[in-house]
Structure 1
């Protein structure tokens, strides 16, 4: 198909497609003449992945380029591809140097050791967790660390489900793409489901039924 057809199929404007090609996110089409290129299903699939990482995953173009570079590297083990995707997820920022940050770093290090996780407190996700816990500590919710093991139980369950999904994919190109989707888009899915569960839990505990009925006279 020509670039116009690729644009119609994916909803991505032609200038944007050309930009992705220039930035190395999308491979160039196969030249059919000096001024025209042909694009196939592989381009369409990659373009849809790029848009999903942008629109749902919330990643920047530079981060997507790094992830796709890992996906396209045949020598890189799947574990490293997963790491490349996971490292691009958390918010960028420097950790503060205060009592709350020190307490959070300690809590995260102890959690990793206690759970026997094959990672390290210097990993990007661990640093993100430390920053989040430190921020909670600064606003008077340092006791949230008491819930870390309950959160870890849920995280392990979701991680196993993610990798079980990945393991069902047979072709290598499907496998590495599934790693990225399960990591980046899976996080968006889980966060949205967590918000839905919060609404349900809140309604059950504080909601409209029983003693908590809204508008009921005391």
Structure 2
């Protein structure tokens, strides 16, 4: 297919496709003339992948390049690929010198029985979050973490089970990449939906409790 058809089938403008080609996010097409190239199903699939990473995941071009590099490394295990993908997506994480927040994070991972890896981007991110909570006086926030861990343990199991449904290592690597990006976006959306629904249910319950009256007295209609 020509680049115009590639654009039509993916919804990605031709100038954007050319930009992705220049940046190495898409492999070059097969030249049919000095100024024209032919593209195949591989390009179609890769372009849709890049679009999902950029538009849904909000990744930078550099981050997408890192994710694609992890996918194309034949020697990288799935476990290492997950770390590479996550680092590409969220970055290395800014170090925080807040010793109290660091200790809170360390005690948290110890309670879960998880490995203590202070240089991992996930641990550094948690320390930064806890430091921010301390800065604004939200000293009770660390108490949320154990509840988060109970929920996230099940989510992690579901994520890994989904990866293992892939027929090949290449397919599994792609699930790791796309699943991390789309999974995080979907989780945030579902969390907001669930929170909004629960808030509405509790608000209705409060209104129903208040309906009989105020101050413990019934609110009778005039004439009753």
Instruction: Identify the residue that residue 117 of structure 1 maps to in structure 2.
Output: 114
Query: TM-score normalised to the size of structure 2?
Result: 0.87
> Conserved in 2, the CA contact under 8 Å of 1:27 and 1:43?
yes
Q: Tell me how far apart the structure 1 counterparts of residues 35 and 209 of structure 2 sit (CA, whole Å).
A: 67
**Secondary structure of 1:37's match?**
strand
> Conserved in 1, the CA contact under 8 Å of 2:106 and 2:116?
no
| C-alpha spacing 1:106/1:215, structure 2 compared with 1 (3 Å) | same
Give the length in aligned residue pairs. Answer: 213
Range with bigger deviation, 119-128 or 10-19? 119-128
Matches within 5 A, 1:113-152: 113-118=110-115, 120-152=117-149
Point out the structure with max Rg over C-alpha.
2
The alpha-carbon deviation at position 213 of structure 1 amounts to: 5.2
Instruction: Identify the residue that residue 70 of structure 1 maps to in structure 2.
Output: 70
Q: Tell me how far apart the structure 2 counterparts of residues 211 and 119 of structure 1 sit (CA, whole Å).
A: 44
The alpha-carbon deviation at position 92 of structure 1 amounts to: 6.9
Which of 168, 179, 201 aligns to 2:198? It is 201
* Structure 1 outlier segments of 4+, above 6 Å: none
| C-alpha spacing 1:142/1:92, structure 2 compared with 1 (3 Å) | farther
The alpha-carbon deviation at position 21 of structure 1 amounts to: 1.2
Instruction: Identify the residue that residue 179 of structure 1 maps to in structure 2.
Output: 176
**What is the root-mean-square deviation in Å for CA atoms of aligned residues?**
2.1
The alpha-carbon deviation at position 96 of structure 1 amounts to: 4.3
Long gaps (5+) in structure 2: 215-224
Range with bigger deviation, 195-204 or 60-69? 195-204
The alpha-carbon deviation at position 89 of structure 1 amounts to: 3.2
CA-to-aligned-CA distance 1:151-185 (integer Å, 9 cap, x gap): 01111111111111111010232111011112121
> Conserved in 2, the CA contact under 8 Å of 1:85 and 1:184?
no
Q: Give yes or no for the alignment of 1:170 onto 2:167.
A: yes
| C-alpha spacing 1:148/1:22, structure 2 compared with 1 (3 Å) | same
Q: Give yes or no for the alignment of 1:158 onto 2:136.
A: no
Instruction: Identify the residue that residue 48 of structure 2 maps to in structure 1.
Output: 48
Q: Tell me how far apart the structure 2 counterparts of residues 59 and 214 of structure 1 sit (CA, whole Å).
A: 47
Matches within 5 A, 1:79-118: 79-90=79-90, 94-97=94-97, 101-118=98-115
